């Protein structure tokens, strides 16, 4: 029954001259998201509002599902738009709306009228009272409750009159593309897809790097990462996923360095390589799924050692999260089921029984000297053989 959707966005974030940038980015993201949905849609900006108009048949759940992935949207309101043809006509339309949308009339309501166009002959309070009366008359099972109504009938007098009462929550955040791009270190675990989602939510476009260690890690492990990238891309838009063959570097570190430092040294090389691809792709930072104290490589000392090799900012949106809190977001975004599939990760293949939890930078620097002979060539080879897959959400 709906021909249009009214898109609500948080206006506080976009005061002043940035407003149109935000709105244009949001329109662009909505158009992109609806490309995946069957049907004909038009997205338009009007008087500080964004509307999606539909033409012909479409699947309501698919449209709402696609819009729920667009950052910047706080509410999706299926709306009835009518021309202003006098108050009696408005009453008819509102009653027909109430009847269709609420087959069961046992609810409390209030009418919330707003005049964006002040030349309308009635004031908001008067519209509220009159429409309320008409609804009560037509549907005697309903009751008015102005404080805690089950349903709020919004009637907004604009160029057209907007009638809506359903507001499906959107994901919030900022439209992707309003805040540059960052490189996500994406593993097959629970944390990194959530970290990517959280930074994308702030308007940041995402590319990703995955460190693959064949034959120690399988094609299925790689496919799992591709699948996770697809899930993140539903929200972030297209991701260029870099798949780096990390095996020779790992083996070399394993041969040359003390095993309790393996993970830290390996993570330092991961950061260096990710930063290389970040710079190549105009990314302004790195993103990881690290959280303080979660494992030995994520103590404050370990994070400092990992961070030391980076020359661009490293964003760690999960830094203060407990595992349970991360799992909740993972489930919400639909990544959890994929993340828990039991495929091996390159980090778990060469782990020491007793990894250092308080690495000393002096010791690490000294041990890394043992890599001098071949590491540059191995890094270059890893870069040269990296496969890039474009992932669409
Ligand atoms: P996750 O659940 O994201 O795998 P984790 O708890 O297993 O995280 P670690 O294995 O210590 O933690 O990894 C910390 C972070 O380093 C990850 O969140 C991810 O950003 C990055 N990372 C780890 N392994 C890889 C990999 N194979 N490829 C790309 N990034 C990785
Ligand atoms: Mg991991």
Structure tokens at 101: 């949308």
CB of 191 within 8 A of CB of 321? no
Which positions ≥6 away from 68 have C-beta within 8 Å? Answer: 76, 168, 169, 170, 171
Whether 297 is in the pocket of ligand 1, judged by its Cβ within 6 Å, is yes
Structure tokens at 42: 């038009």
CA distance 317 to 201: 11
On the CB side of 2, CA atoms within 13 Å amount to 24
Does pLDDT of 276 surpass 60?
A: yes
Question: How much is the mean pLDDT over the chain?
Answer: 94
80: three-class secondary structure by DSSP: strand
CA distance 136 to 385: 71
From residue 13, alpha-carbon distances to 72, 73, 231 in Å are 10, 12, 26
From residue 210, alpha-carbon distances to 38, 184, 244, 270, 277 in Å are 33, 9, 6, 9, 11
Q: What is the mean pLDDT of residues 106-113?
A: 98
Look at ligand 1, atom 22, and give the residue with the nearest C-alpha.
Answer: 187
If you measure from the C-alpha of residue 62 to the centroid of ligand 2, how many angstroms do you get, rounded to a whole number? 33
Look at ligand 1, atom 2, and give the residue with the nearest C-alpha.
Answer: 189
Does pLDDT of 382 surpass 90?
A: yes
What does the domain layout of the chain look like in residue ranges? Answer: 4-169, 181-391
Q: What is the pLDDT of residues 138-185, one digit of tens each?
A: 999 999 999 999 999 999 999 999 999 999 999 999 999 999 999 999
Question: Can you give the pLDDT at residue 52?
Answer: 98
CB of 63 within 8 A of CB of 54? yes
Burial of 241 (0-12, 13-18, 19+ CB in 10 A): buried
Q: What is the mean pLDDT of residues 11-31?
A: 82
Q: What is the mean pLDDT of residues 14-38?
A: 88
CA distance 67 to 34: 8
Kindly report the length of the chain. Answer: 393
38: three-class secondary structure by DSSP: coil
Whether the domain at 4-169 and the domain at 181-391 fall into the same CATH topology: no
Q: What is the pLDDT of residues 301-334, one digit of tens each?
A: 999 999 999 999 999 999 999 999 999 999 999 9
Q: What is the mean pLDDT of residues 38-53?
A: 93
Nearest to 58 by CA among 111, 17, 4: 4
**CATH of the domain spanning 4-169:** 3.30.2130.30
72 DSSP 8-state letter:
T
Helix axes 300-307, 262-280, angle to 10 degrees: 40
CA distance 203 to 28: 13
Look at ligand 1, atom 16, and give the residue with the nearest C-alpha.
Answer: 288
Whether 346 is in the pocket of ligand 1, judged by its Cβ within 6 Å, is yes
Ligand 1 pocket mutation, candidates 183, 189, 190, criterion most atoms within 8 A of CB: 189
Q: What is the mean pLDDT of residues 195-201?
A: 98
362 DSSP 8-state letter:
H
Ligand 1 pocket mutation, candidates 347, 359, 387, criterion most atoms within 8 A of CB: 347
Look at ligand 1, atom 21, and give the residue with the nearest C-alpha.
Answer: 185
Residue located via tokens 């897809």: 193
- From the CA of 287, give the closest atom in ligand 1: 20
Whether 288 is in the pocket of ligand 1, judged by its Cβ within 6 Å, is yes
- Kindly identify the ligand whose nearest atom is closest to the C-alpha of 273: 1
Nearest to 289 by CA among 361, 212, 210, 350: 210
CB of 74 within 8 A of CB of 8? yes
Structure tokens at 330: 């993972």
Structure tokens at 154: 């919004």
Whether 345 is in the pocket of ligand 1, judged by its Cβ within 6 Å, is yes
Question: Can you give the pLDDT at residue 210?
Answer: 98
DSSP string, 284-307: --EE----TTSSGGGSHHHHHHHH
CA distance 338 to 187: 12
Question: Can you give the pLDDT at residue 54?
Answer: 97
Residue 252: in which H helix or E strand, if any? helix 247-256
- As residues whose CB is below 5 A from the ion ligand 2, the structure lists 187, 189, 345
Superfamily of domain 181-391: HUPs (3.40.50.620)
Does pLDDT of 12 surpass 60?
A: no
CB of 215 within 8 A of CB of 255? no
SS3 for 91-144 is HHHHHHHHHHHCCCCCCEEEEEEEECCCCCCCCHHHHHHHHHHHHHHHCCCCEE
- From the CA of 294, give the closest atom in ligand 1: 6
CA distance 29 to 50: 12
- Kindly identify the ligand whose nearest atom is closest to the C-alpha of 292: 1
CB of 52 within 8 A of CB of 60? no
Residue located via tokens 């509002």: 49
Q: What is the pLDDT of residues 334-380, one digit of tens each?
A: 999 999 998 777 666 677 778 888 999 999 999 999 999 999 999 99
Given pLDDT bands bounded at 50, 70 and 90, which one contains residue 196? very high
Structure tokens at 195: 């970290």
- From the CA of 246, give the closest atom in ligand 1: 27
Residue located via tokens 């919030």: 172
Question: Can you give the pLDDT at residue 13?
Answer: 58
Q: What is the mean pLDDT of residues 72-98?
A: 97
Look at ligand 1, atom 25, and give the residue with the nearest C-alpha.
Answer: 187
């Amino acid at each position: 029954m709906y021909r249009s959707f009214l898109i609500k966005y948080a206006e506080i974030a976009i005061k002043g001259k940035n407003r149109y940038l935000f709105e244009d980015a949001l329109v662009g993201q909505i158009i992109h998201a609806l490309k995946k949905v069957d049907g004909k849609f038009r997205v338009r900006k009007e008087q500080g509002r964004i509307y999606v108009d539909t033409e012909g048949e479409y699947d309501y759940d698919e449209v709402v599902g696609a819009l729920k992935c667009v950052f910047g949207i706080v509410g999706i309101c299926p709306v009835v738009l009518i021309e202003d043809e006098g108050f009696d006509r408005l009453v008819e339309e509102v009653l027909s709306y109430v009847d269709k949308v609420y087959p069961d009339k046992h609810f409390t309501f209030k009418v919330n009228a707003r005049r964006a166009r002040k030349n309308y002959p009635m004031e908001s309070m008067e519209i509220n009272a009159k429409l309320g009366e008409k609804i009560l008359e037509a549907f005697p099972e309903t009751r008015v409750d102005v404080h805690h109504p089950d349903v709020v009938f919004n009637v907004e007098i604009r160029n057209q009159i907007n009638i809506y009462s359903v507001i499906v929550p959107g994901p919030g955040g900022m439209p992707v593309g309003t805040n540059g791009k960052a490189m996500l270190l994406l593993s097959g675990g629970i944390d990194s897809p959530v970290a990517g989602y959280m930074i994308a939510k702030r308007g940041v476009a995402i590319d990703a790097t995955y460190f693959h260690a064949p034959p120690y890690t399988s094609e299925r492990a790689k496919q799992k990462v591709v699948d996770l990238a697809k899930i993140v891309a539903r929200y972030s838009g297209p991701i260029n996923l870099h798949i780096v063959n990390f095996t020779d570097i790992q083996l070399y570190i394993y041969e040359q360095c003390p095993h309790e430092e393996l993970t830290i040294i390996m993570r330092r090389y991961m950061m260096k390589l990710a930063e290389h691809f970040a710079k190549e792709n105009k990314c302004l930072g790195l993103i990881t799924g690290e959280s303080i104290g979660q494992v030995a490589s994520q103590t404050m000392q370990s994070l400092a050692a990992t961070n030391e090799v980076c020359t661009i900012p490293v964003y760690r949106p999960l830094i203060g999260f407990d595992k349970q809190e991360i799992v909740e977001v993972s489930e919400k975004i639909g990544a959890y089921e994929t993340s828990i599939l039991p495929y091996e990760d390159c980090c778990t293949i060469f782990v020491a029984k007793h990894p250092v939890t308080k690495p000393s930078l002096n010791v690490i620097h000294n041990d890394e000297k043992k890599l001098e002979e071949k590491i540059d060539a191995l890094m270059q080879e890893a870069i040269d053989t990296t496969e890039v897959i474009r992932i669409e959400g």
